[in-house]
Amino acid sequence: SSGINAEWPLRPGEKKVKLTKKTLVEEVKKLSNDEKITRVMSLAVQGRWTKWEDLVQVDLDWKEVLYGFSPSMLSFWLNSIQDTLPDPVNLRRWGKAFEAKCVLCGWTNCSQIHILCSCRIALEQGRISWRHDSILNVIVKWMKIGKVGATNSFKKSDQLATDKILFVKAGAPRAKKRVKPSFWHDGSDWKILMDSRSAPYQIPPQIVSSSLRPDICVYSLSRKKVCFVELTSPFEENIRLWKAKKQLKYAGLVDDAKSNGWEASCLTIEVGARGFVSMNTHSLFRFFGLTPKDSKTARKEISKVAIKCSHFIWISRCNPLWSHPARVC
């Protein structure tokens, strides 16, 4: 007969907790969420997203989702996460079709991973690289913003630096702390090269002679410093595998640049086809001078671009013609 303002029955070692409406609602919500997660993880198909590792959840608020996504795009995104899109494999499993052929290449087991990432015709036509290059374009844009911001911040802080000890009078404001130097601070001739399907580049021979082309090459001839950045946009389940492959692929390139007297490094960034980004995305943007706020904004933009591109690839899955649309930004 206990009411809202009663007390929880105590177990040995427990503290008294007053049972108010607020605490009751919180406990019920917690129990409900735990039950939902347990139920989802038990599902063979719909629960796959619960096992994704080393990924940041897509950080979009309801306003961005409701006003930034069309109903078709929102439906695509939510169903793609749960693997409940009406792709040929699912239609066959649901008894809606007898076969699961890809309309474009004829693959006999056409799932959403095939449509979004591995269809042979889609790869040849540039559908998958179009998404990749659209994401890459956003990354380069934010790297340039970080370069400008970091350079300006360091110049301002440099003016405050002095070898003398500055005493502050009582009541006077303290001098600002000097900004920690970023990747960009020690050179004025930085160049950013971006590789794309329509405009490939070549690594400058002063750095290293190689046929390899990481997606981004940032270098300064005066400082003999170079950083390669490699983007991968696979299915979320395969992100860890592709990260390891790319690190192995470009390890030799970094070693060759170092043997030529360059300070060299290679960073990888992974953005899933459904907009989930790797955990190291934040540290990469911070490395290139972005503030924490700008880093978060950049991650959101990258996620939205990946989702928009994948949605367009999805709705074009039965169209054998590809019009090479402009990059999404």
Nearest CA among 275, 230, 21 for reference residue 139: 230
Report the mean per-residue pLDDT for the chain: 82
Question: Bigger pLDDT: 178 or 130?
Answer: 130
Question: Bigger pLDDT: 76 or 161?
Answer: 76
**Tokens matching residue 257:** 């640049």
pLDDT tens digits for range 73-86? 999 999 999 899 99
- Specify the pairing of strand 191-194 against strand 216-220: antiparallel
pLDDT band at 16 (very low <50, low <70, confident <90, very high): low
User: At residue 133, does pLDDT exceed 50?
Assistant: yes
Q: How far apart are the first and last CA of the chain?
A: 60
> CA 270, 325, 322, 126 torsion: positive or negative?
negative
Indicate the range of 64-68, 167-171, 208-212, 257-261 predicted with least confidence. 167-171
What pLDDT does residue 152 have?
64
- Specify the pairing of strand 225-232 against strand 191-194: unpaired
pTM over 0.85: no
